Chains A and B, each alone.
Chain A
């Protein structure tokens, strides 16, 4: 592949006076850098009541496994200071249902789909990837949720062990033959090693960060805030953590990074782009401000226009230190 050299380059195409928002992450080309994060947007149907979700750079679906999963016992949500904990437990109705039903609905809406998949072990990842391969012309990429528990390794996330990351990435890449994005967990110290392993395996890009492990306690009932005790923290509370992770990963120039974690506004999105993210994921914000994706795209466009920057790629990684 000759892609390697051009991974971090961009085309200087501008249309009239309008600044170009299009970005490239390896072979993945997006009209704008705003992506809805997995698990916060279903596959776009619900939010289409509020705006045309086809304007988003892409929508990452909720994570699908081979068979339907019921998920964790409630309560699954617990609000914390400027954030929320969740322990949904990867509830989903299985990859076949996505292929049979949901994908068509998303296509009708004109949504560009990144399909998120996961498995309990390498074998399940391979099986789900094989199913996804049947519809590879209809999706722009597959995102691997590597923060889910690896049953064969005592439930530790795949993301924790770089060798596992490489194995899963390389084996799904060979099955899929379309761009594969590795979504990494911030809960382990080896983010750079995991990213390198993803690259070795043939990943096209990285999604960083998934939720941060956290918990809450109800002092009236002495019970944990979540039915599952531990959960994932998201929202504005995690933004500085996410930004630091994206910054430290992007400067290594391993793979293009989709930066995510607490992005609620175009200003937040811009911070991630400045530290080197090639695109941004908007997650929890969708729960609060249903049309936030649209607002961020508009905000970025206006900012570029005001600053007379004709191409968004001119701000990517331009942090002055």
Chain B
């Protein structure tokens, strides 16, 4: 993990609120893997408002070109600031942070379930698993068609996938969790990685409650430091039969066994 600054090679607008930023960084490309994130300063140099860095899951790594990318949605002041950065500007960030996902020990069949911007860190899992000749299926759910451009990225990876939208404007109409439920038998021997809104994760937790699949959720929480110092980004995990403990998303995660997560 290092404090870094990297040149922005592109900051492409995918739709109204969705952007993909490519950053030059040999260090990240050589040291990061799927599931890890970077922590970005979202204000000009020497400016302290917005104050805290923002975590972004690594979307893609192109080792050959020393370029990695993040896919992000403009949600507040921080993401608004980085959406206005141009090609050639320098991004102040730190990384790679969090624990990477090791696919070596996983099943040969992998199901990725993403909701909204939760698809971002799953994309790199898809790419790496695909490169390992695993059988990957990507189920993605969105509100509308604002992530349409992302499907082009996925098609480049030649990954089988299903898209669901709540308004039916792209792919099938419905929720991704319903899709998973309706096709539960097809994914019987799959290892599952999911990332998305809390409601989606809660539903998936119920669906897989009494099944034997390994289900890993990539979680997000508001963070201050991102390095495991402040204990700000904790999530509640089951401990023993009745107990619980707080674990840090930044240092202990961001990947956790979905079955152990307590959604209050």
Complex interface residues of chain B between 37 and 51 (CB less than 8 A to chain A): 41, 48-51
| Interface residue? A84 (CB, 8 A) | yes
Query: Most chain-A CB neighbours within 10 Å: which of B50, B221, B230, B264?
Result: B230
> In the complex, which of the residues B48, B52, B227, B264 has the most CB atoms of chain A within 10 Å of its own CB atom?
B48
B227, A290: Cβ atoms closer than 8 Å: yes
Given known A50-B2, A50-B3, contact A70–B246 (CB-CB < 8 A): yes
Main SS at interface, chain B: loop
10 contacts between A and B (CB under 8 A): A40-B229, A50-B1, A74-B222, A74-B234, A74-B235, A76-B222, A76-B231, A76-B233, A77-B222, A288-B41
How many chain A residues sit at the interface, stated as a range, is 20 to 34
In the complex, are the beta carbons of A77 and B232 less than 8 A apart?
Answer: yes
Interface membership of B195, Cβ < 8 A? no
Which residues from chain A sit less than 8 Å from chain B, CB to CB? 39-42, 46-47, 49-50, 70-71, 73-79, 81-84, 86, 88, 91, 235-236, 264, 284, 286-288, 290-291
Q: Considering the chains assembled together, what is the distance between the CA atoms of A299 and B182 in angstroms?
A: 62
In the complex, are the beta carbons of B231 and A71 less than 8 A apart?
Answer: yes
Contacts of A42 in B (CB 8 A): 228-229
Please state if B51 and A84 are interface contacts (CB–CB under 8 Å): yes
Interface of B toward A, CB cutoff 8 Å:
1-3, 41, 48-53, 94, 221-236, 244-246, 264
Q: Which of B2, B48, B264 contacts A73 (CB 8 A)?
A: B264
- Closest B residue to A89 by beta carbon equals B231
Is A235 a contact partner of B48 (Cβ separation < 8 A)?
Answer: yes
> Considering the chains assembled together, what is the distance between the CA atoms of A155 and B223 in angstroms?
27
Which residues does chain B contribute within 8 Å of A91, judged by CB atoms? 231, 234, 246
Q: Give bound CA distance, A163 to B201, whole Å.
A: 51
Nearest first, the 6 closest Cβ-Cβ pairs linking A and B are: A77-B232, A287-B225, A82-B49, A287-B224, A46-B227, A77-B222
**Shortest distance in angstroms between A36's beta carbon and chain B's nearest beta carbon?**
10
